[in-house]
């Protein structure tokens, strides 16, 4: 795995995690 691929993978996983956390913490806000 090249470093650019790893960076993109990490960014995708981090973005997904942030989305999940936002949804868990504030599903009533409509941001999800």
Q: Count CA within 13 A, CB hemisphere, residue 11.
A: 6
Answer whether 7's CB lies under 8 Å from 15's CB.
no
Closest CA to 31 of 12, 22, 9, 16: 22
pLDDT in tens, 1-32: 688 998 999 988 888 888 888 777 776 655 54
Q: Where are the domains of the chain?
A: 1-26
Instruction: Please report the pLDDT score of residue 22 as a whole number.
Output: 76
Angle at 8 (CA atoms; ends 32, 21), nearest 5 degrees: 25
Instruction: Please report the pLDDT score of residue 24 as a whole number.
Output: 79
Instruction: Please report the pLDDT score of residue 32 as a whole number.
Output: 45
Answer whether 23's CB lies under 8 Å from 32's CB.
yes
Q: Which two tokens stand for residue 25?
A: 């913490």
């Amino acid at each position: 795995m090249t470093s650019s691929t790893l960076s993109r993978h990490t960014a995708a996983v981090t973005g997904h995690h942030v989305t999940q956390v936002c949804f868990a913490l504030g599903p009533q806000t409509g941001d999800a």
